[in-house]
Chain A
Amino acid sequence: MPLDAIPIVAVHGDAPSAQAGLVPGALSGNAPALLREIAEHLRRLLAGAEPAAIDLRAMPLTPADLDWLRERLGSGEVNATLLADGESTIVETACPGVWWVTHRNDRDVVVAEFIEVTFLPELLKAHPEDVQFGLEHLELLISDLS
């Protein structure tokens, strides 16, 4: 039998959720509770508490739940893309202070997904050591000018 006689059928990437008991296309009913948790974190943040994060992968959520959440939270003014070992997106939702963070690896596979409740996500801040490097670099540029 010639090799090309063997049919190759592509299986599309939308793998059904592996969570036992969760139907991929349906809402599990767990997402609304998450909205309340986010609200509570925001209240605490305003009262001076530490920033908080929710690991979306650790929650029993279906893809439909995630879509529902994304739709409800909407999108805000900030949309940052981090190019570090694959692309990460840090998007402010329509509720300022609530950020949707998606980490992808260098093959563009989502490896982690968080909702962060903070004024500014830690990842976006430049580290003093890096700023130091930046300063040195800039000084070098300036010295080249003269």
Chain B
Amino acid sequence: MQGPLIDTLVRQGVSRRSFMKYCATLASLMALPPAAGRAMAQAMAAARRPSVIWLPFQECTGCTESITRSHSPSLEGMIFDMVSLDYQETLMAAAGHQAEEALEKAIEDNKGQFLLIIDGSVATGLDGAYSCIAGRTNLDLLKHVAPHAAAIVAVGSCAAFGGIPKAKPNPTGAVAVSDIIKDKPIVNVPGCPPIPVVMTGVLAHFLTFGSLPELDRLGRPKAFYGETIHDRCYRRPFYDQGKFAKTFDDEGARKGWCLFELGCKGPVTYNACATVKWNAGTSWPVEGGHGCLGCSEPDFWDGGGFYKALSMPADPLKMAATAAVVGAAAGVAASFANRAKKGGAKAAHETVTLADLEK
């Protein structure tokens, strides 16, 4: 096990055994066979720092925070440091023209080789003028950089699906990266923010096998987004027994019963929180007593309320008053019409006399 990456890690005080252990765990997490852990360790250790260009668009930097500060000092963070991050405006030392030159240089030096990471959605309203870097719109920048990338990783729900900027009424005309770029392999790593290990998993897979991991219908790595939160939830047995917390402070909530009725979106959310958890495996939202918001699903923000159970209507009586008035009016109108018809028939009725019958 030799190579630039492991040498750098060793210099930073990470032992080879820690690294092997990390790769074994990662492979287990990605549901790869145990042998893949060894292959991964070999390949990653030997990796020539792959060039990565990170473009932040309409975002809140939460995704960057999630990955760089997962828990310190984290191997995720370190491996992430090991890639040649040639452009990341939040983290890079350079600024202004220097920074923009670094971007152009990175594109030039690694044409067709670099991994393009994008967080944040792309504003398309007013020709993209809502979000600019160095006087260039995100839209323009994306169209300029993407054709030269080997692959694109859309980090966070904004880049993957449009996220919060795309929430109604979407004033900036925000769209997902995949709505603009159609001819490049794109991996979506949604979540608000995404779990750090998913990022490293995708990187590790790219470095080990030279390809992207298997993706689901929405472009997410199946290894992490293959199952719903609900199917992997430790509170699932309570759902099956019909034991639900009705409020956040009742007996059921204290006993850790299922949060479905409090609006948990676990049954329709594909993510790995229930198994990987957050903050070095400390906890995750449902364990903290709050239902899943469904943040790794498209348009989770407009899903009809975070605290409304999935099976519940959003607001069914919205039109009820109008409908009742219109219905009543229609009924009255119809009865007038019926009476008019009856009256007409009566008026048109000719009385039959004896003389008529004798004709």
| A119 nearest CB across to chain B (Å) | 16
Q: Across the A-B interface, how many residue pairs have beta carbons closer than 8 Å?
A: 76
By the criterion CB–CB under 8 Å, are A82 and B21 in contact? yes
Known: A11-B256, A18-B274, A85-B22. A127 touches B1 (CB 8 A): yes
Q: Which of A7, A16, A84, A129 contacts B21 (CB 8 A)?
A: A84
B231 CB-CB contact with A under 8 Å: yes
Whether B236 pairs with A55 at a CB distance below 8 angstroms is: no
List residues of chain A with CB within 8 A of the CB of B75: 85
- Are B24 and A114 in contact, CB atoms less than 8 angstroms apart? yes
A75 to B344, CA, bound (A): 102
- Tell me whether B331 is interfacial, beta carbon within 8 Å: no
Contacts of A16 in B (CB 8 A): 234, 236-237
Is B234 touching A53 in the complex (CB atoms < 8 A)? no
> Contact between B16 and A109 (Cβ–Cβ < 8 Å)?
no
Q: Which residues 1-55 of B have a CB within 8 angstroms of A? A: 1-2, 10, 14-18, 20-22, 24-25, 27-29, 31, 33-35, 38
Q: Scan residues 79-109 of chain A and give those whose CB is less than 8 A from a CB of chain B.
A: 82, 84-85, 88, 103, 105-107, 109
Asked if B316 is at the interface of the complex by the 8 Å CB criterion, the answer is: no
Are A127's CB and B25's CB within 8 A?
no
Could you say which residues of chain A place their CB within 8 Å of the CB of B21? Answer: 82, 84-85, 88, 103, 123
Expressed in whole angstroms, the minimum distance between the Cβ of B7 and any Cβ of chain A is 9
B275 at the interface (CB under 8 A from A): yes
Residue B232 lies at the interface, judged by CB distance under 8 Å to chain A: yes
A21 nearest in chain B by CB position: B240
Given contacts A18-B233, A53-B34, A53-B35, contact A84 B280 (CB under 8 A): no
Does B282 count as interface, using CB distance less than 8 angstroms? yes
Distance A126 CA – B234 CA, assembled complex (angstroms): 39
Contact B236 A7 (CB under 8 A): no
- Are A106 and B24 in contact (CB-based, < 8 A)? no
What is the CB-to-nearest-CB distance from B80 to chain A, in angstroms, rounded to a whole number?
16
Are B281 and A20 in contact, with the CB atoms below 8 A? no
Distance in Å from the Cβ of B58 to the closest Cβ of chain A?
34
Q: Does A15 contact B (CB under 8 A)?
A: yes
Q: A77 in the interface, Cβ–Cβ < 8 Å? A: no
CB distance from A110 to the nearest CB of B (A): 9
When distances are taken between beta carbons in the complex, the residues of chain B under 8 Å from A105 are 280-281
B280 near A106 with CB under 8 A, answer yes
Please report the C-alpha to C-alpha distance between residue A142 and residue B334 in the assembled complex, in whole angstroms: 110
List the B side residues contacting A129 at CB < 8 Å: 2, 10, 16
Q: For the complex formed, measure the closest distance between the CB of A134 and the CB atoms of chain B, giving whole angstroms.
A: 12
Whether the pair A58, B18 counts as a contact (CB closer than 8 A) is no
Which 6 residue pairs across A and B have the least CB separation, nearest first?
Answer: A53-B34, A15-B234, A84-B18, A109-B281, A85-B18, A112-B25
